[in-house]
Amino acid sequence: MTPAAPTAGAPAPGGQPPQRRLGFWVRITVSVVLLAVLISRVDLSTALPRQRHLSTVFWLAGAFGCAMGGIVLSAWRWERVLIVFDRTVRMRTLVAHYFSGQFVGNVLPSTIGGDVVRVSRLTQTIGDAPTAFGSVALERLTGFIALPLLSLIGFAIDPSLLGARRSWIALLASGITITALMAIVFLAGHPRLAGRYRHDEGWTRFIGAVHVGVERMRAEPRRAAAALGTAMLYQASLVVTMWCVAHVLDAPVPTGALLAYIPAVAMAQVLPLSLAGLGVREGMLALLLTPLGVTTGQAVGMGLLWYLIMLVVSMFGAPSFAVGARHRIEESTAP
């Protein structure tokens, strides 16, 4: 699954500007409508596993373990990106920051993103707001590079999927993502566009920081490859999580289809159309998996269980979010 002004807390929707409150309620409405339409088409007898035994518990535990490991892998990816900026921060610190962001983004009813919390916490850690912003932006960017790559690998593993009904949706999502990424990298890396802000002192210095990161990745491909490699590992852990979820619900999803389709679902659910991707995620799973023999109930169940797992795992970020970041500078030069 799912994407996520620096602030130490998460204000309730009522404390947000009118436009942001309106957007919050629009996303809730979209989620409710989409889920209502999907659930109305679900036969509950096909949504739950027919045989409930110890293996169901085993697969469910595996899904939770993979989700937890995925957050650690995300923090590792973040560490690799920070090295591009010649900054090293302890993994324990980054994992705590990442869990804090997950808690805010997935658990608290707020329009503030988890990435905003991570930028805020890392700024307190390294004392450099532009670098903190640039690292989070590039960390997200490497994730979106990995998603279409994994999807294409899935189609390569199982070429028969190319003839499957609605497989074009996954291919279209990959194509749009790759095109958008090329445009972003061009704009961020161009010296006369984002590069013109690299020495600014105002808010545009954050754009300049992203330019610096892209420029260094181009100049140092080994560091860029390390960041992209960890991004691939994280996205692969997401596919493994959904593989376990499919087994929990006895959904007959081929491994190649998971590799080809789950990244497309992850790309779609980050769009700011619904609350935490609810409805969009389940709809995409139903569209892509039902032609393969998965029932609508199983597809919707996979999406909801995926969300529930991430919600529970994100709650482990409550302690680190409550304690707050340690106000100390951790500046050092990467080897």
Q: State the pLDDT at residue 44.
A: 65
Closest C-alpha to 299, from 32, 2, 42, 64: 42
Query: pTM for the whole thing?
Result: 0.84
Q: State the pLDDT at residue 111.
A: 47
Q: State the pLDDT at residue 112.
A: 55
Domain assignments of the chain as residue spans, ordered by start: 54-323
Beta-carbon contacts of 206 under 8 Å, excluding residues fewer than 6 positions away, are 129, 130, 133, 134
Closest C-alpha to 206, from 135, 121, 114, 100: 135
DSSP 40: T
pLDDT digits (tens, 9 = 90+) for 294-313: 998 899 999 999 999 999 99
Q: How far apart are CA 122 and CA 138, in angstroms?
A: 14
- Helix (H) or strand (E) run with residue 225 in it: helix 221-248
Q: State the pLDDT at residue 334.
A: 42
Among 45-59, 78-92, 151-165, 276-290, where is mean pLDDT lowest? 45-59
Give the pLDDT band of residue 4 (cuts 50, 70, 90).
very low
Q: How far apart are CA 157 and CA 259, in angstroms?
A: 9
Among 151-160, 190-199, 257-266, where is mean pLDDT lowest? 190-199
Mean predicted confidence (pLDDT) in 257-268: 94
Total Cβ atoms within 10 A of residue 131: 22
Q: State the pLDDT at residue 109.
A: 58
If you search the block for the tokens 């340690």, which residue do you land on?
326
Give the pLDDT band of residue 10 (cuts 50, 70, 90).
very low
Tell me the helices (H) and strands (E) count for the chain, helix number first. 13, 0
Q: State the pLDDT at residue 16.
A: 55
Judged against a pLDDT cut of 80, whether residue 6 lies above it is answered with no
Mean predicted confidence (pLDDT) in 109-127: 82
pLDDT digits (tens, 9 = 90+) for 221-257: 999 999 999 999 999 999 999 999 999 988 889 989 9
Q: State the pLDDT at residue 1.
A: 41
- Contact call for residues 301 and 285 (beta carbons, < 8 A): no
Mean pLDDT of the chain: 84
Q: State the pLDDT at residue 17.
A: 63
Q: State the pLDDT at residue 327.
A: 43
